[in-house]
Amino acid sequence: MHASKPNPRSTRRPSTAAVLRTCALGVMLVCATTAAAQQVAPRLTGDMVVADLAKAQQAVKARAGDNHDAQLQAVSAQLQTMAARLRELLGGDAGQPLATIDKDARDAAVRADAAAKRVQAWINASAVACTRDEADAMLAALTTTLAHLSADAEPQKAPLPVIDGVETLDQRPLFVLTADDAVPKFVLTGANLVDAQCANPEVTATGPDGKPVAAQPQLVAAQPGRVELQWPGAANLPPGSYTLALSAQRKAFLLGCVSQPPAVAVLQLAPAPRFNVSYALIATCEGQSAPVSLAAATIPVAGRGQTVSRSIDVAACAQPVSYTLTAAASAGDGQETRAGPFTQGPDASVTSGLGNGLTLTWDPSLHQLLVRSGKRTCKGVY
């Protein structure tokens, strides 16, 4: 018997469509692998921290612009000094991952990284819709934060606890608390803020005089990267910069839970905002050749979420043809926003935005002017 030979004509070859499907699948796998590789963040190095400090410094200089703001120049100089000191500490290890270098250089880089992040958060939060008082309070919190991070030099062998940001519960950057809310709630963000094998961290608030205050923050929840706090009584504290020191512990072999260097954050406490809204209401009346002034006054508004009304006597204009409203609003720092004149028919309401969340409405059906102080527009203020 002879073994049968395969018939070359009977061998099935993959169709063109199958080949194309296989190639397409291969391309998709390559793309997916590339995309996955691109999502892996590089390990933090000293060079990266120095670059971030330089970017933060340039952003501060750009914000200062041509007005040569002394406070912003001081922030810029502080960042430059921090970067120079870090380069000196890093030496030839600048390109190495922070976890692999000497603890002194590593901890300085960790604190410098926190400073760069805080400056960037300030740049984003203070860009628009802030009164001068709000901007000054945010800057005060930032400068005090940088002063703490520059002065702290206590190293340790284990990874250092660090706070690199303060956020509202909906993850907006936070620098200022005001008396609008009696119990503000916020989150400290960072790294190594709690060890699951040890007790929860303690947070102590000290006032502008460096002494602990009577009303202390209360811990709500704690994770290594996020610690949620609430602060009853903060609204009753005097204005100024308040430092929050978070004292954590870590599990050490044969030693149990040992204390770690405190991580700090700074919040500025400010009084509730105050506004003055000035208005003038004029009517054009049937049978009268000249416009009739119905009212002109100033309404003070304190705090957010307020509505203040004024009744207007319209007896001087029995048959109105139209109403004209002009308004202006000034914040406590004297910053003023003007609006109008706006003219509407005798039955139509007139509403004008006055900046900083303020609105003024003339309601002809009720013969009332309404001033409302809406939600805060400055992102970095609670």
Query: Which tens digit of pLDDT belongs to each residue from 85-116?
Result: 999 999 999 999 988 888 889 999 999 999 99
CA-based nearest residue to 263, from 250, 242, 248: 248
Is residue 345 in a domain?
A: yes
pLDDT in tens, 269-306: 998 888 899 999 999 999 888 999 999 999 998 888 88
| The overall pTM is greater than 0.85 | no
Domain boundary among 238, 271, 304: 271
Helical ranges in 290-343 per DSSP H: none
Residue range of the domain that includes 103: 43-155
CA 102 – CA 218 distance, rounded (Å): 35
Residues 81 and 60 occupy one common structural domain: yes
Is residue 381 in a domain?
A: no
- The kind and range of the H/E element at 32 are helix 16-38
- Using the predicted structure, report yes or no on whether residue 181 has a pLDDT greater than 80: no
Q: How confident is the model at residue 1 (pLDDT cuts 50, 70, 90)?
A: very low
- Using the predicted structure, report yes or no on whether residue 79 has a pLDDT greater than 50: yes
Is residue 357 in a domain?
A: yes
**Longest distance between any two alpha carbons in the chain, whole Å:** 127
What is the tally of structural domains in the chain? Answer: 3
Is residue 11 in a domain?
A: no
Residues 266 and 353 occupy one common structural domain: no
Describe the chain by its helix, strand, coil percentages, rounded to 5: 30, 35, 35
CA 112 – CA 192 distance, rounded (Å): 16
Q: What is the mean pLDDT of residues 145-170?
A: 90
Residues 288 and 200 occupy one common structural domain: no
Is residue 244 in a domain?
A: yes
> How many CA atoms, within 13 angstroms, populate the side-chain half-sphere of residue 14?
8
**Residue 87 vs residue 127, higher pLDDT:** 87
- Using the predicted structure, report yes or no on whether residue 10 has a pLDDT greater than 50: no
Domain boundary among 255, 271, 287: 271
Residues 167 and 218 occupy one common structural domain: yes
What CATH number corresponds to the domain at position 224? 2.70.50.70
The pLDDT value given to residue 324? 94
Residues 148 and 49 occupy one common structural domain: yes
Is residue 92 in a domain?
A: yes
CA 356 – CA 378 distance, rounded (Å): 8
DSSP calls for 351-370: EEE-STTEEEEEETTTTEEE
Residues 256 and 164 occupy one common structural domain: yes
- Under DSSP, the state recorded for 319 is S
Residues 177 and 255 occupy one common structural domain: yes
Residues 187 and 252 occupy one common structural domain: yes
CA-based nearest residue to 149, from 262, 5, 10: 262
Domain boundary among 108, 140, 155: 155
* Range with the poorest average pLDDT among 130-134, 345-349, 357-361: 130-134
Is residue 199 in a domain?
A: yes
Q: What is the mean pLDDT of residues 121-138?
A: 86
Phi, psi for residue 264 in degrees, rounded to 5: -120, 150
CA-based nearest residue to 176, from 145, 147, 207, 138: 138
128, two tokens: 């628009």
Q: How confident is the model at residue 14 (pLDDT cuts 50, 70, 90)?
A: low
